[in-house]
Structure formats: structure tokens, C-alpha cells
């Protein structure tokens, strides 16, 4: 019982670097907030680091964010989608940003 609980907490902490104690305190952007609220349930950073990326450019990254917020039953505005895409882009992808 207790072991399972500890394991659960560990999993949550490992899967979400934002809650790690070592993270320096900084302002949380809207994109980061949305992402950590709705998307980190099954996303470890690894999904965004792997070699075989689905999102191969800025447009593709936006499309993926739109796709996934829909799957999560969200109806994000274009602004919210761009905010999250920008957050992931700065963190992982580093694609040149086009105006949509």
C-alpha cells in the first residue's frame, strides 16, 4: 500500500521536471502553465527529444499542439496554441518561427 503510493509520487515527480526541487524559481509562462496542466500526464521530456520527431518544423509543432489539446477535450484559442508551441520550441525544438 505505502510502497505503491511512494512509487506513484516518484513517477509524477520524474515525469514532470517543473516540480523538481532543483529547478530554479522563475516566472511561469502561460504556455508552460497550460502544458504542465494538460500535457505532462503522459509526456516526459523524452517524447520531445527523440530522433524521430513528428513535429519537424514550427508549423508542424503547432499542428501537434492543436491535435493534442483536442484529444484532451480542450478548445484552446490560436493564441494559447502558439504559446504552448513557443514554450516547447524554446525548450526542445528550436525551429525558426514563421508567422502563421
Contact residues: ligand HEC, CB under 6 A: 35, 38-39, 41-43, 47-48, 53-55, 61, 64-65, 68-69, 72, 84, 88
Query: CB of residue 23 vs ligand HEC: minimum separation in angstroms?
Result: 20
The per-residue b/e assignment along 81-100, b for 16 or more CB within 10 angstroms, e otherwise, is bbbbbbbbbeeebebeeeee
Query: CB of residue 36 vs ligand HEC: minimum separation in angstroms?
Result: 10
CB 34 within 8 A of CB 83: yes
Query: CB of residue 15 vs ligand HEC: minimum separation in angstroms?
Result: 11
Nearer to ligand HEC, 10 or 54 (CB): 54
Amino acid at each position: 500500500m505505502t510502497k505503491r503510493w511512494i512509487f506513484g509520487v516518484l513517477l509524477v515527480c520524474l515525469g514532470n521536471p517543473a516540480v523538481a526541487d532543483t529547478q530554479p524559481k522563475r516566472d511561469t509562462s502561460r504556455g508552460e502553465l497550460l502544458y504542465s496542466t494538460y500535457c505532462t500526464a503522459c509526456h516526459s521530456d523524452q517524447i520531445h527529444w527523440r530522433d524521430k520527431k513528428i513535429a519537424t518544423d514550427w508549423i508542424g509543432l503547432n499542428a501537434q499542439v492543436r491535435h493534442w489539446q483536442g484529444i484532451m477535450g480542450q478548445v484552446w484559442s490560436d493564441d494559447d496554441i502558439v504559446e504552448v508551441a513557443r514554450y516547447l520550441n524554446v525548450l526542445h525544438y528550436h525551429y525558426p518561427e514563421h508567422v502563421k
